[in-house]
């Protein structure tokens, strides 16, 4: 029949772009949202799911009647399950236990087998969803791993579909893209295609507090990841599908601001978006505030509110987790840094003895370590104690032998909410402004600030 699609897979793509009118009314740039949750599988991941299956079929790795296995937060699984249903494949998905019940139930509705694994384990742990997925491939006849974290078909799908679609829809009148970073497929593929068309276009990544991407982008080092409530993006390792060469900036978001922004966008703009969409929109507004001449900004809205009704859009769940409580409003890190004194630091070639003398002289307990003007580590009292236990020669050791990397970098314009969530993860927090260290913030600094503010 005229106007119909042969299968539901032909309906993937051509999602609309709509302007934000209320929540971004105060910023000069125009912010638009590409509603990827209007794909038939409910998310942006319909695109890579179809490309992955197509490429596996072409290579001969996926045989008729075979089984597709994937470690997923839910959305890629939905795209794979939808395509597998049309093409006659079986599916097995492995998911972390923090994912919403709606995602698990949706996958099972397709007849998929779903295994739920612990969230707070290292990627190499045999209980992690990565390792369990690999084991299921080994144990299942004619099974293949979709492998979205390392499969070039993932970013390829956005080079072939999403990128050209955005370029055609906008007539090239797009100046910046704001995209959540998970596997890296969306941001890498869009960055490759759109920068090829318009080199001046800015690609801005969005990363949740607890993930490693923000600090990696700022410092080039991989930090210790911590748990967070947001689903579907952020990582505790570097997927090979993540290409930082196309990323111009990264904004960091907290669980709370992401959830509250998602609720606000649904109620004020009528856009039925989920938590990662709330994150991306919050980040886009923050970035627009700092870049008033940014022009036209497009935000990718990955999925919808329907997958978070039992969490983000449940007032009881929000209250139980403390997300409905008043916060520090518009307070910025710079408000706290302004109260601090001189920042002391040491070069990587300094000795343990030098640091001991500095700490004694200035009454401080931790010092950032710099190399070529860049923060490469922290050394604190615990690190020094460990060094001194090595014997009398320890005082001559370079601090680079004893520094630790469990710190996070923030900028003066970051919100105090970001700072609070980092300190709860027991990280040392360094404040950098244009690459220069301007402050170190401890838990007691934060506590004193909040206490003083409440008086």
As annotated, the active-site residues are 45
Residue closest to 242 by CA, chosen among 203, 193, 188, 162: 188
**How far does Cα 267 stand from its chain's mean position?**
24
Burial of residue 321, with CB atoms counted within 10 A of its CB: 0-12 exposed, 13-18 middle, 19 or more buried: middle
Residue closest to 71 by CA, chosen among 232, 220, 274, 302: 232
Tokens linked to 420 = 């609070």
Burial of residue 6, with CB atoms counted within 10 A of its CB: 0-12 exposed, 13-18 middle, 19 or more buried: exposed
Angle between the 163-170 and 185-197 helix axes, to the nearest 10 degrees?
Answer: 50
Yes or no: say if 154 and 185 are a contact pair by the CB < 8 Å rule.
yes
- Distance, in Å, from the CA atom of 121 to the CA atom of 123, rounded to the nearest integer, reads 7
Q: Is the dihedral of CA 421, 423, 424, 426 positive or negative?
A: positive
Rg (CA), the chain: 23
Tokens linked to 339 = 């109260």
Tokens linked to 345 = 């630091």
- Distance, in Å, from the CA atom of 111 to the CA atom of 381, rounded to the nearest integer, reads 55
- Distance, in Å, from the CA atom of 175 to the CA atom of 200, rounded to the nearest integer, reads 7
Tokens linked to 296 = 């036209």
């Amino acid at each position: 029949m005229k106007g119909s699609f042969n299968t539901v897979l032909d309906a993937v793509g051509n999602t609309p772009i709509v302007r934000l009118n209320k929540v971004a009314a105060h910023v000069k740039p125009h912010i638009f949202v590409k509603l990827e949750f209007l794909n038939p599988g409910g998310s942006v991941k319909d695109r890579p799911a179809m490309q992955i299956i197509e490429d596996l079929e072409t290579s001969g790795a996926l045989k008729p009647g075979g089984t597709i296995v994937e470690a997923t937060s839910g959305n890629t699984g939905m795209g794979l399950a939808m395509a597998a249903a049309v093409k006659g494949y079986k599916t097995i998905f492995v998911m972390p236990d923090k994912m919403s019940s709606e995602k698990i139930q949706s996958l099972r509705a397709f007849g998929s087998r779903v295994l739920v694994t612990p969230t707070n384990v290292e990627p190499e742990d045999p209980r992690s969803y990565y390792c369990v997925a690999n084991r299921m491939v080994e144990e299942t006849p004619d099974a293949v791993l979709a492998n979205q974290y390392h499969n070039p078909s993932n970013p390829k799908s956005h080079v072939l579909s999403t990128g050209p679609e955005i370029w055609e829809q906008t007539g090239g009148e797009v100046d910046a893209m704001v995209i959540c970073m998970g596997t890296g497929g969306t941001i890498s593929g869009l960055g490759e295609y759109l920068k090829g068309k318009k080199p001046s276009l800015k690609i801005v990544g969005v990363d949740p507090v607890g993930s490693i991407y923000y600090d990696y982008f700022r410092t080039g080092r991989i930090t210790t990841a911590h748990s967070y409530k947001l689903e579907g993006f952020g990582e505790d390792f570097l997927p090979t599908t993540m290409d930082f060469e196309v990323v111009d900036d990264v904004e960091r978001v907290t669980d709370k601001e992401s959830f509250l922004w998602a609720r606000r966008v649904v109620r004020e703009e009528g856009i039925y978006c989920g938590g990662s969409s709330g994150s991306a929109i919050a980040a886009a507004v923050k970035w627009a505030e700092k870049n008033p001449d940014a022009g036209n900004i497009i935000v990718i809205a990955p999925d919808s509110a329907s997958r978070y009704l039992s969490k983000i859009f449940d007032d009881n769940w929000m209250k139980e987790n403390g997300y409905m409580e008043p916060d520090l409003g518009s307070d910025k890190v710079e408000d706290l840094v302004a109260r601090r004194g001189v920042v002391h630091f040491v070069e990587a070639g300094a000795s343990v003895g030098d640091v001991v003398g500095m700490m004694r002289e200035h009454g401080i307990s931790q010092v950032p370590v710099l190399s070529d003007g860049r923060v490469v580590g922290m050394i604190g009292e615990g690190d020094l104690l460990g060094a001194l236990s090595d014997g009398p020669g320890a005082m001559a050791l370079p601090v680079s032998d004893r520094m630790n990397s469990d710190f996070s970098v923030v900028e003066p314009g970051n919100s105090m909410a970001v700072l609070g969530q980092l300190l709860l993860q027991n990280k040392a927090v360094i404040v950098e402004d244009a690459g220069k260290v301007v402050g170190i913030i401890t838990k007691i600094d934060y506590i004193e600030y909040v206490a003083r503010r409440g008086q």
